[in-house]
Each structure stands twice: as C-alpha cells, then as structure tokens.
Amino acid sequence: MTRSCSTVVSSFLLALGLSVLPPFVLPGAAQTLTERLKQETPAELAEAARREGDAIRGAVIFARSDQGCAGCHSSGGVDQVGPDLSRLPSDRTDEGLIESILEPSRILREGFATTIVTTIDGNSIAIRTVAKDDARLVGREIAPPYRRREFLAAEIEAIETSSVSSMPDSLPNALKNRGEFLDLVRYLIELRDRSAANDVAERSEPLRREIDRTTLGLNLIDRLGCRSCHTIEAWERYAVGAITADRAPRLEQVAHRVDRSWLESFLLAPESTQPGTAMPDLLKGLADDERESAVDDLVSFLIAQGDRPFRRDPVDAEAAHRGEEIFALVGCVACHAPRDAMGRELPTPDSVPLGSIAPKYSIESLTEFLEHPHEVRPAGRMPDLQLDHFEASAIANYLLQEQQPADLAGAEIDRAAVARGEARFRSLGCSRCHDLIPAEPAPPIPIERIDRGCLGGEGGPWPHYTLSDDERVLIAEVLTSEADEPSKSRRIEFAMATLGCLACHERDGLGGVTSARDHFFQTSDINLGPQGRLPPSLTNVGDKLRPEWLRQVLVGGRSIRPYMATRMPRFGAENVEGLLTLFAEVDDRPARERSTPQDESETRRVGHELAGNTGLNCIACHTFRLEPSETMSAVDLTEMAERLQRDWFEEFLKAPQRFHPNTVMPSFWPGGRAIRTEILDGDTDRQIEALWVYLDEGRQANPPRGQKREPLRLTAGDVAVMLRRSYPDVGKRGIGVGLPSGINYVWDAEGMRLALLWHGDFADPAGVWLGQGHGNVRPLGTEVVKLPAGPELQYARRPWQPEQGRPSEPRFDGYTLDAERRPTFRCAVGELEVTDSIRESMRPDGRVGLTRTLTFSGTLPDEPLTFRLAVGTKIEPVDGEGFAIDDRWRVSVVEGPEVERTTDGDAISLRLTVDRAALERPWIIDYDW
C-alpha cells in the first residue's frame, strides 16, 4: 500500500511539473550533483560545510526560487509544507541535516507526509494536512504557489496518504556546484544553532475573524444613506473623525453619463433595474400613471442639468479583450464579482453587484467614470484604481460588450417638464442625498419606530428600500442597541470595512483576500512567494510605516510593489484623513531612544558593505533604485528609510517571519545573533544600525557591491553608427564612426585628422553616458591604431606645437551623411575648403580597409600648406605600394602628390604638399591595419 501510494505521489509530482524536479537523466549520462554528493559521507560534507560554507550565500540560495527551500521551509512560517528550519531540535546533527537534503524520505518528520485529496468533481490536489476534523480538511498545497486549501468533508471523494516526503530527493541538482551545497548546509547549521535562542513563540495564522454585526449594520446605514434623513447616534460615534459619510452620486452630468431610457426605468424601479442599488424607490406611493409622469418630469429635469450629450460608440473588440485581463488583474474583482468567459458575473460572496450595466453607460461615460470615479462619487467608496485612459477604456469596452444601440429619440427639452421635475426633485427629498440644486438643509426626521416606513417593507409616502430580512435586522440592531463608545480599534475596523480595505488587506485577523478571490491576485515575480501577490497585512501598519508615507499610499496611491498586479487605489484625501489619524493613534509607539553613531560616515560605509555581496547580500534579492536584482525584485532598498519606522525595521530584520509568516526573506540574525560575525564584531544592533544609516540616504545611497549592470554597446547595424564624444588619445571633440563592415574610426574635429582605427564592434559609451559622463567612449576593438596627434593640415613654415592647445586652424565646418549615414567631413583653412570622405574598401586579398577621399576647393593660402600622412620611428615602403608605419599600419597614396619623407631625430614624417593640382583632382589614400 505504501509503495503504491508513493508511486501515486511521484507521478502526481511529475504531473504538477514541479520546477524543483531534476532534469531527466539518461542512463550512463554524467553523474548529477546529487549523485556526486552522495559519494561523500555526510560527515565529510558536514566538515567541509563548516570549513568552507558561507552562511550568507547559503541564505540567498535558500531564498532563491529555483531551490524552492523557502517556499516550504520559511523560517517561522506557518502551516508550511515542510518543517520550520529555525526550530530544528538542537540535537539534530550537521550530518542529519545533510541526509535530510540528500535523502529526504529516509526520516520523514511526523505530520509532514503528503496527502492526495480527490474531490467529488474529480480533481486531485496534493497537500500537507495541517488540520482535520469530521467536517473538513485543511492543508497546504505542496506545489507553488503553496495555497492553503480547505475541503469540506462532503466535497472529498478520497484521501490517500504517502510516507514519502514531498521533498524531491534530487533538489541539489538545481544548485550550481558542491560549493553552493556547502553554503546552503552552512546556513542551515547556523539556523539550527540559534533555534534554541529563537524566542519567537510558535504561532499559527491569526484567527480569521468575521466582521461583527454592528459594523455590518453601520455599513448598510452608510451605504443606504439613512443619515441623509435621520440622525443615527451609533453611526456618528463610529464614523465622525474616522470616515466621511457616503454620498449619493453627483448628478450634474447624469445626462451625459447614463442612457435616458435606463434612467427612466431606474427611477421607475430602482432595485429591479440595478439590483443592489442604494437608491430607494421614492415613487412607490404614487398611482401608476402618476409615477410615469413623475419619472418623465424628473428625467427632463436631470437631462437639462448637463451640457454634454450621451453618446454610444461601437464596442472595440480588441480593447474589450484587453479590458478582460485588466478587470481581472488590477483589483476590480477584489470587490466586484469576477466574470466568466462570456462576461457574466459569477456568483461570489461579498461582491458589490454591477448588474447589467451595458444599458446604463456609454463607453465614453464609463471610461470617464473609471478614470475619475471621485468626480461622481466623492466619498471614495469606489476607489480610484489609477487607471490610465486606455486601461479605463478597455475595461469599459469589456463591461459594455452586450450593449445595444441607444434609443436617442425624444431628446427635446420640455421646459415645463423641467420645471415640474425640479419641483418633484425638491418635494421627493432627492436633495437630501444628491447635491444638485441649492436647497435649505432639511431637518432630521426622528425615527419613531422601526417596524414601519423605510424598514417596514410596505409601500407608503416614504423611500422604499428593497432589503432582505437580515438587512432589516442588522439596521434595527444598530438603531436599538445600547449606545457604547467604540474603541479606536473598532472605529478603524469600521472605516476599513466601509472603504473596502478589508477586501484586500487583513488587520488583526479581520479581512484579507478570500479563497474565492485568491487566484485573481497575481504577480509578475513568483519568486517572491505569496508576498509578491497578496497585499500586505495592515496589522500595526501605523507602527510600521511613517505617517507621511502612509498618507501618500492612501491619498496618492503610492506603492512600492511593481510586481503586484493588484493596484493600491486612491481614496481621496478627505475620506482617509480620519483613518490616517486613527492608525497613528492606535499603532504608533513612541520611538525608542537612540544615540547617534559616533562616526556616521564610517557607520554608513559599513552599512553599504553589509548591503553588498561581501556583507549580507541584500542586493541579491532586493531592487535598488528601480533596478531589480538578478534573483528577484523584492522591494526597493532605496525606499526603505523613507517608508519605514526605524524601530519596526529593526524588529523586522531580527525576525522577518514574525511579521510575514511564509516570507522568503531569510533571517540574518536568527535568534537575535548575527551570522556575519566578522563585521562590527557580530553585534546585531550595530549591524542593523549601520544598514539603517546607509539606507537613510534613500535614492542617493551608493549602490551596493554586486548590483548587476547591463553593459552598454553601440554597434553598427545596416547603416553606420556615429558618436561624437570624448575618446582616449583624441580628446573631447572626437567623432567616432562604426561602419557596418566592422571597420571603425575616430575623426578628431579639433585637429581635423583621422585619429583612431580599429576592427570589430564599435564602442562602449558607458564612460560618457553613465554617471556624470567624465570618462571616454571605449573602442571595442582589441587593437586600436593611434594616429599622430595635432592637425593633419598645417602651414609648412609654422608647424603646430603640441602645447598650443586648440589650433585656430583648420576650422571645422561639419559634415554630411550619405544614404548609409557615413559622414563626409568638411573643414577649411582660410579660403580653402576641404572635404574628407572615409569609406570601407575591399583589398585584392579580400581584407577590408579604409579609403579616404580628400577634395580641395576655393583658394589656396598664401603660404605653403602640408598634409601629414604619417609619423613614426620605423617607416618602410611596402612592395612599391605605400608604407608600413611602426609595423602597426600601412598607408598608401593612390591618387595625389609625391610623398615627402623627412627625418627629425628618431621621428620620420611622411607629408604631402597641398598645391594647385589638389584643386583639380581629389586625393585618394588607403589605410590598412
């Protein structure tokens, strides 16, 4: 039985396609790392790990997703697939740790077997059972993303249990080499050594609480706008100073926003037109024909308010398709019901119903509403998800796919009807909820009894709400219960429930993403585990975040988790003012007193070292200045100090799992003791202080050692590439040119000369394009030929002196580009204009060199002008075709005057005289190297 089960489990694991499984190994193929490691004894490996292993590197490997260690064994994690390694029994030997990695099934710890649950609808799910009773089975999926699952007994068809570990026995194969294995083991040894000192109490996930009935009742009172007519003491006690009251939509542009016929049917029968609406039926007390004329009058009045017409545009199917994805990902479905492939709402608990909105909106008006929801609904109950215009439009197209062409007939404005409509608007009390027309504040209507009127269910001269019995009871309970003074914590919960925070965030066990919606919370970086996709807990958030930051999050929608698909929305400043104050009052603790470090810059230097790959290697996982690390894109280090409170930062670093059960963040101070003992004498507090002082520089902090860099390379494509910049041995006025044939040169616009030549790729511009740009462009060729400095064209009798600085002549006039974007340079000496085209050319032996064509026009200067062809210490003729210079390069005058050779000490120069003949025939000069 056991055997067959293990086969079941193995094949099941295969079916899951676990990323942790080893590559399939052919018989006779080279040995895997696991096999090689097994050839050593555990004692040998343990000895090597103690001697050579690096616990910090091991911690990063532990967190790395291709290992999957942290997915199942997070330190301090809760109800995980595997045992918490920070609580290993201290008698667990080093050798035992090694055996558990190499042969995980040999000793399977109790309670960590794999269970395969087959449900009645035929699905099989492999879990580790964490709780079980007669009614249900709770477990953790053994494959990423390691979801917690609950099965009701009635759903379960069969349960099978295996004694084989769910940990594959070939995990080490995903490591690069034996060294990494030793690093990992060394980290586990450190964890075990500290497990005794680990004072973190064993905990399980906070008990999930339900929202209490008072809060539910108050939410309902808030949403239905009861306060517009009545004074409700309980609401005041909870809400004043915590949250603004909900307000009915603004109606100024309702004619633009909604379809007229929809508006008519909505006024006639609000609940059946838009199920779940907070709008009561105000006309129920009227006779049928009277109701219809009332609706006509009201609609006429409302239509007359706006200055923009309602306009239907055809649905853009492609936008609708994009909208489907955006709707599912950005957070719409945190509150609204998700939809099936046909776009129909799936029945999902706790959903704000949208109903059939296609008849109501136009694509244009829904787009505008989604972009700026608070302009219509200022109370922030529909938060602003920071959709840009195109995202909003895509969602609008998606949600309105079913729309029919509007009946736009009868849009004539009947002035008399408008006036009647305004009178009805006043007399029906619409102004109590809608700010549309100036109205005297209406006095509150005392609540005399709760079994009649709005709550009574029968028609009459009052607003008629369609409420379930339970909703009536909820409201009645609030109205009749003894008035207690709610604690600030209770008021926070009320505000969070009302604003919808609890749909995404948990606080003290209340709220958070429900299992029905869990799979809509996605991430672009699965390496971050659940933290990468689920919005953070808000337990003690006022202790964690600085108040200014928290404000920017709630008001400005600021976020630091670009990998999280669900967006933090904005709620509007006035709507969260009270909540921000309450968070600070309830959570914030007085800051611990600290002395400033004696030598701040030295402390910062150590912090920089700790963050880098020779310290704690924070940079291995964390983003730095928007640049994700190689391993994953954990939150940006340069925003830590701006976000976090200092005390929280310190406590978090000491025990990350206390704050985030199942975090992939390893502990570098397990049990409060430093792993890196050689820095600051292993003093935990001083190490953390150093990190803080370093991070406190924010975006201006020096990048830690080990940050990955993308190299910069400029190469020619189909056409030439050019870069005017500083080049080595040329100066600041270099003009580098890379030709598609792999020939590159630099022309110097200060000396008007050819300056550098090389073969291969063009250049690395990092020296001038990064930082302040104080460096040079670096030619990518290995052998760069440097031609002599100073101008090529000079007056023969007053040669250029190197110490002269910039020569006043020749003058640079610019260049033109040909179709391949190859330049022809132009310069001038006096009235003599010179052009210089440098092109690649094929030699008879098939090699590619450069051919330079120089033209001269205008007037020759009065004094003799020479052109420097070459300078060297060794210049020899080559087969009657040109000269070899210092055995480095060759130059050959194909067309042009006789070459003049002069010697000055060791230096030999080759020169050409610019004479009248040059005005008639271009010079052609070949360069090879």
Within residues 799-828, the interface with another protein by CB under 8 A covers: 805-806, 812-819, 821
Report in angstroms how near the CB of residue 592 gets to another protein at its nearest. 22
Report in angstroms how near the CB of residue 903 gets to another protein at its nearest. 32
Check residue 78 for interaction with another protein (CB under 8 A).
no
Which of 83/628 has CB closer to another protein?
A: 628
- Stretch 608-647 residues interacting with another protein (CB under 8 A): 625-628
Check residue 928 for interaction with another protein (CB under 8 A).
no
Spatial separation of the C-alpha atoms in residues 679 and 654, rounded to whole Å: 16
List phi, psi (to 5°) of 181. Answer: -60, -45
Provide the Cα torsion 241, 242, 245, 246; round to 10°.
160
Beta strands 743-748 and 753-759 are antiparallel
Spatial separation of the C-alpha atoms in residues 674 and 667, rounded to whole Å: 9
Task: Count interface residues toward another protein (CB under 8 A).
Answer: 84
Task: Using CB under 8 A, pick the residue from 69, 766, 871, 893 that binds another protein.
Answer: 766
- Stretch 281-340 residues interacting with another protein (CB under 8 A): 325-326, 329-330
Check residue 580 for interaction with another protein (CB under 8 A).
no
Task: Using CB under 8 A, pick the residue from 722, 746, 755, 918 that binds another protein.
Answer: 722
Q: What is the largest CA-CA distance in the chain?
A: 120
Strand partners, 136: 152
Which of 195/603 has CB closer to another protein?
A: 603
Tokens of 878: 């080559």
Task: Using CB under 8 A, pick the residue from 289, 710, 862, 904 that binds another protein.
Answer: 710
Contact (CB, 8 A) for 247 and 433: yes
Contact (CB, 8 A) for 912 and 866: yes
- Stretch 499-538 residues interacting with another protein (CB under 8 A): 524
Task: Using CB under 8 A, pick the residue from 275, 444, 460, 773 that binds another protein.
Answer: 773
Task: Using CB under 8 A, pick the residue from 126, 504, 721, 891 that binds another protein.
Answer: 721
Task: Using CB under 8 A, pick the residue from 84, 252, 368, 493 that binds another protein.
Answer: 368
Task: Using CB under 8 A, pick the residue from 81, 640, 716, 768 that binds another protein.
Answer: 768
Report in angstroms how near the CB of residue 844 gets to another protein at its nearest. 33
Stretch of residues binding another protein (CB under 8 A), selected from 53-61, 273-281, 413-421, 696-704: 696-704
Check residue 726 for interaction with another protein (CB under 8 A).
yes
Which of 119/853 has CB closer to another protein?
A: 853
List phi, psi (to 5°) of 924. Answer: -125, 125
Which of 760/775 has CB closer to another protein?
A: 775
- Stretch 403-422 residues interacting with another protein (CB under 8 A): none
Which of 76/790 has CB closer to another protein?
A: 790
Stretch of residues binding another protein (CB under 8 A), selected from 298-306, 444-452, 669-677, 769-777: 769-777
Tokens of 59: 């911690």
Spatial separation of the C-alpha atoms in residues 622 and 562, rounded to whole Å: 13
Contact (CB, 8 A) for 95 and 46: yes
Contact (CB, 8 A) for 645 and 619: no
Helices 213-224 and 469-480, interaxial angle, to 10°?
A: 100
Cα–Cα distance list, 884 to 376, 439, 642, 780, 889 (Å) = 82, 98, 64, 24, 6
DSSP string of 585-617, one letter each residue: HHH--PPPP-PPPSSHHHHHHHHHHHHSTTTT-
- Residue tagged 């025939």 (tokens): 921
Tokens of 51: 């001697």
Which of 777/925 has CB closer to another protein?
A: 777
Task: Using CB under 8 A, pick the residue from 10, 702, 715, 913 that binds another protein.
Answer: 702
Report in angstroms how near the CB of residue 530 gets to another protein at its nearest. 17
Task: Using CB under 8 A, pick the residue from 732, 847, 874, 921 that binds another protein.
Answer: 732
Spatial separation of the C-alpha atoms in residues 734 and 751, rounded to whole Å: 9
Check residue 754 for interaction with another protein (CB under 8 A).
no
Check residue 372 for interaction with another protein (CB under 8 A).
yes
DSSP class of residue 656 equals H
Q: Is 152 helix (H, G, I), strand (E, B) or coil?
A: strand
Task: Using CB under 8 A, pick the residue from 19, 401, 466, 559 that binds another protein.
Answer: 559
Report in angstroms how near the CB of residue 724 gets to another protein at its nearest. 4
Which of 124/726 has CB closer to another protein?
A: 726
Cα–Cα distance list, 610 to 602, 630, 678 (Å) = 12, 18, 11
List phi, psi (to 5°) of 162. Answer: -115, 150
Check residue 549 for interaction with another protein (CB under 8 A).
no
Check residue 836 for interaction with another protein (CB under 8 A).
no
How many Cα atoms occupy the beta-carbon half-sphere of 621 within 13 Å?
A: 25
Spatial separation of the C-alpha atoms in residues 143 and 136, rounded to whole Å: 21
Contact (CB, 8 A) for 891 and 852: no
Report in angstroms how near the CB of residue 521 gets to another protein at its nearest. 12
Provide the Cα torsion 603, 607, 610, 613; round to 10°.
-120
Q: Is 820 helix (H, G, I), strand (E, B) or coil?
A: coil
Spatial separation of the C-alpha atoms in residues 256 and 907, rounded to whole Å: 86
Check residue 924 for interaction with another protein (CB under 8 A).
no
Which of 28/805 has CB closer to another protein?
A: 805
Task: Using CB under 8 A, pick the residue from 176, 203, 321, 699 that binds another protein.
Answer: 699
Report in angstroms how near the CB of residue 691 gets to another protein at its nearest. 16
- Stretch 431-460 residues interacting with another protein (CB under 8 A): none
Residue 42, preceding peptide bond in cis (omega within 30° of 0): no
Which of 170/631 has CB closer to another protein?
A: 631
Which of 96/562 has CB closer to another protein?
A: 562
Check residue 697 for interaction with another protein (CB under 8 A).
yes
Task: Using CB under 8 A, pick the residue from 561, 676, 852, 911 that binds another protein.
Answer: 561
Report in angstroms how near the CB of residue 387 gets to another protein at its nearest. 8
Check residue 564 for interaction with another protein (CB under 8 A).
yes
Question: For the chain, first and last CA: distance in Å?
Answer: 78
Stretch of residues binding another protein (CB under 8 A), selected from 60-68, 238-246, 405-413, 762-770: 762-770
Residue 597, preceding peptide bond in cis (omega within 30° of 0): no
